[in-house]
Homo-oligomer: A and B are copies of this chain.
Amino acid sequence: MNYRAVETAGEYVARLETGADWRGEIEALADEVEADAAWFTALGAVQDAELWFYDQTTCEYEPIAFDEPLEVASCVGNVSWLENERFAHTHAVLSGPDGTAYAGHLNEATVWAGEVYMRVFEDGLERAYDETTELDLWL
């Protein structure tokens, strides 16, 4: 296992803007506070969403599109550098009017309302290509 002790440089709460992109808003917050590495949890609701599922055989992400309002019952992720940009690796659990849950890697979603708690770490994290999984991983 690869691990690293981290120290927190700052903590933030944010309200995501209605109509903006969920992940884009988290990355905008990271840019604003100059986070080189961060961890976040969030909750709220979205107007639509695109989840991604990683196919471990083809090593490619497959999109799953939702064109309806959904609750964001859980959102966990982290910020690190990927190809010279801050990237918010974001997983989410969404739910519909009957409580049915959908989940996966959140690529994009239009915010209805969103509440985020983010911890920014002193030392940065940077993603690099991992040959085994063909994913960009840190540490």
Residues of A in contact with B (beta carbons under 8 Å apart): 1-8, 10-18, 20, 25, 28-29, 32-33, 37, 39, 41-45, 47, 51, 53-57, 62, 64, 66, 69, 71-78, 89, 91-105, 112-113, 115, 117, 119, 121, 125, 130, 132-133, 135, 137-139
Contact = CB atoms under 8 A, between A and B. Distances in A.
Contact of A89 (B43, B135, B137): B43
Nearest to A37: B13
A103 B97 contact: no
A101 B93 contact: yes
Interface centre among A73, A94, A112, A138 (most CB of B within 10 A): A73
A57 B44 CA distance: 16
